[in-house]
Structure 1
Amino acid sequence: MRQLRERFADAPILLVEDDVVNQEVALAMLGDTGLMVDIASNGSEAVELAAQRPYRLILMDLQMPVMDGLAATRAIRAAGIGDSVAIVAMTANAFEEDRRRCEEAGMNDFVAKPVAPEVLYATLLKWLTREASIGAPPAAAPAAGPAVAADVAAQPPVDIDAAVNLLGMEPDKFYALIGKFLASARTELPRLDAAIAQGDGKTLSSVSHRLKSPARTLGASGLGDLFETLERSHPDMAKAATTLQQIRTALNQFARLLDDRMSQRGRSEG
């Protein structure tokens, strides 16, 4: 991070991310780098902003509403407005197929979410240091993780402390992000119920995909895995219904843990 601050302070970069929690986490990690960060909430906004400002680098989510990251990258490259800008994919799907799709769209690199700060800083330094080249192959994607267990009790535990330490955030700010995530996830539960009832695999996949990354970023890796199971459950709607019930249980557990942590913090400060 020190090299970024010393060598590239005020360099303009664009963060393209539709999820508010992921936006805030990324901004927290980038806050001390000295980089000037603009935000686009979808690919269409990214194309418009890239046409208005000569960014040094673009961090691009893949799955977004309105226009996804692949389409946005192709549009930026085709318009000639981003011939020299490095475009780095940030995605919760870290598979070889996704890496190939990123390369074909004209992206330069690929990092999997949740992104550790040191990985993000190294990637930024790599592409800000040298000229981006259209079609330069992304780094090899990490191997896919083990199969997700069906029983929520078998999921990895929620580890808020590890997530706070990893991201280097103040606990109160981190707890506020968890609260936002829980509110967002609970708002989406009726949509997921309806999608299962209607056999709507598209909605089931898009909503689950959007929620799995912030869950993992905030330390609830087991909950993130459940959202990934739900994302891939279509057309088995019986499995989807079972997974959604496990997600409800995991969300309640996460909320209780957050309440305990906030109560403990209140008592220690009192």
Structure 2
Amino acid sequence: MVVEDNVTNQAVAQGMLEKFGVHIDLVANGQEAITALEQLPYDLVFMDCQMPVMDGYDATRRIRDPQSSVKNHNIPVIAMTANAMQGDRDKCIEAGMDDHIAKPVDPRKLRRALEQWLPVCCQQTNPEGDEGKSDESRSAENPEVSINHDSAPSPQHSDEPVFDYTDMRSRLADDDTLVRTVAEAFLGDMPDQIEQLKVLVAADNKAQSTAQLHKIRGAAANVGGMALSALALTMEQAGKAADLEAIRERLPELENRFVQLKAAMKERLFETTNR
């Protein structure tokens, strides 16, 4: 099961996991995850952390609670989140999660997580080559050490590419159909995400504005929109510092970054379809 509220990230996760031969169900928040886990014996959960209704931390605590009605309290739960600092990983482990994968997701690290946590009976035999062989698997004696060693993304964005097509295509197994499917989902959803951010900023809602920027950052990074993602990170950090005015001042720049990304994606993907 993938627990994720952003449609772009849902499309990316579904596409990547299906490439590895894994059947998944998608739910949009922690409460929906709990309801599903009460009904079906899933093998593995990929859990976003920041979601409406119920976040990933509370959902995981509910899963681990022996008084809850989920079918398997010990099901592996892997955080899949744009938060990549060591403190973020520690928070995931403290909530009861087993591992942490940073967004944008590296297919090799996703494959290693599947090999580590998916029951052997459910694993495909190397469906996408041998790139996922792990040299950093966690030992059974030390189950609380994450296999993911990503560093936090840099807030600098002046030199970031508008659209890193190579990165996006590689992330999606060089599948042009999947690339276009994810791109269409992103381009259709991002205007709504930016509009929602503008509403939250106008309402002086610092916490929700920061959370919304976190969502924008992760979605942009997943499609290779590195300049947009980096700017969203800078604004997100301003929100964490309670500087709503800094966010407000950069909203036009954020919108312009998306316009540039949209144009670059359409041009590049149009070229791809006519090779």
TM-score, structure 2 length as denominator?
Answer: 0.82
Of 6, 12, 19, 1:25 maps to 12
Of 36, 39, 54, 2:23 maps to 36
1:59-92 deviation line (CA, Å, top 9, x unaligned): 1111111100111111111026333311111110
- Deviation of 1:202 (Å): 1.8
Name the counterpart of 1:97: 87
- Deviation of 1:201 (Å): 0.6
Q: Helix, strand or coil: the match of 1:88?
A: strand
1:128-167 deviation line (CA, Å, top 9, x unaligned): 258x99x941416636436413xx5433442112211232
Name the counterpart of 2:271: 264
Alignment partners' CA distance in 1, 2:36 and 2:148: 28
- Deviation of 1:26 (Å): 1.1
In the alignment of these two chains, the number of paired residues is 251
Alignment partners' CA distance in 2, 1:65 and 1:166: 27
Name the counterpart of 2:37: 50
CA contact (8 A) 1:95 1:141 kept: no
Of 188, 201, 205, 1:196 maps to 201
Higher helix share: 1
Q: Helix, strand or coil: the match of 1:232?
A: helix
CA contact (8 A) 1:94 1:141 kept: no
Name the counterpart of 1:10: none
Distance 1:31 1:266, change over 3 A: closer
Name the counterpart of 2:128: none
Tell me if 1:237 matches 2:240.
Answer: no
Name the counterpart of 1:223: 228
Name the counterpart of 1:15: 2
More RCO (CA 8 Å, sep 6+): 2
Matches within 5 A, 1:17-166: 17-78=4-65, 79=68, 81-129=71-119, 136-139=143-146, 142=149, 144-145=151-152, 147-149=154-156, 153-166=158-171
User: What is the percent sequence identity of the aligned residues?
Assistant: 30
TM-score, structure 1 length as denominator?
Answer: 0.83
1:237-267 deviation line (CA, Å, top 9, x unaligned): 3321233222112111111112212442455
Of 248, 251, 254, 2:258 maps to 251
Aligned partner of 1:60: which letter? M
CA contact (8 A) 1:17 1:42 kept: yes
Alignment partners' CA distance in 2, 1:245 and 1:142: 34
Note the residue ranges of structure 2 that are not aligned, 5 or more in a row: 121-138
- Deviation of 1:41 (Å): 1.1
Alignment partners' CA distance in 1, 2:5 and 2:184: 18
- Deviation of 1:38 (Å): 1.5
Q: Helix, strand or coil: the match of 2:183?
A: helix
Tell me if 1:187 matches 2:187.
Answer: no
Distance 1:187 1:83, change over 3 A: closer
Q: Helix, strand or coil: the match of 1:45?
A: helix
Aligned partner of 1:184: which letter? D
Name the counterpart of 1:11: none
